[in-house]
Amino acid sequence: MLVDMVKIGSVVLTVRDIQRASTFWRSALGYVPGHGNDAMLVPENGAGPFLLLDAEDRTHLDLWAADGQEQQAEVERLVSLGARRVEDWVYPDDADFIVLADTEGNLFCVIDAGR
């Protein structure tokens, strides 16, 4: 039985020079700027995860859930598989993400992509 679940929506990559990294990754992957933003690269053909370039955030995966209800269900499912909530994360008031750590301590976010 095929079950709907989160998917890799984006990979956040830590870079020092967004413009230089954007030029490289656009050429390497055939991606284009999303919404005219060189820090948000999207597959030109529309298939595949976004690549987000950020000078401050650490490298991590963003897993996309369809809406808030699916986000909560997926967080619980991932925790049952061995992930843990990162309790000391400071969230903005309008956060659409929940930060988890995998079994090796790697951080990732579960995003309410419906927002």
Q: What is the mean pLDDT of residues 42-57?
A: 94
Residue type at 50 in one-letter notation: F
| Residue 76, token pair as written in the block | 């619980």
The answer to whether residue 28 scores a pLDDT higher than 90 is yes
Q: What is the pLDDT, as a whole number, of residue 1?
A: 45
**Residue type present at position 65:** A
Closest CA to 107 of 30, 14, 42, 40: 14
Distance CA(111)–CA(103), nearest Å, equals 19
Query: Which pTM value belongs to this model?
Result: 0.88
* Residue 3 confidence (pLDDT): 56
State which CATH number among 3.10.180.10, 3.40.605.10, 3.40.50.720, 3.30.2130.10 fits the domain covering 7-112: 3.10.180.10
> What does the domain layout of the chain look like in residue ranges?
7-112
According to DSSP H, which parts of 17-104 are helical?
A: 18-29, 68-80
Under DSSP, the state recorded for 58 is P
Question: With bands split at pLDDT 50, 70 and 90, how would you rate the model's confidence at 2?
Answer: very low
Percentage of the chain exceeding pLDDT 90: 90
Residue 96's identity, in one-letter code, is D
Neighbours of 10 (CB within 10 A): 22
49 vs 20: CA distance, rounded Å = 20
Taking alpha carbons only, the member of 92, 57, 73, 54 closest to residue 4 is 73
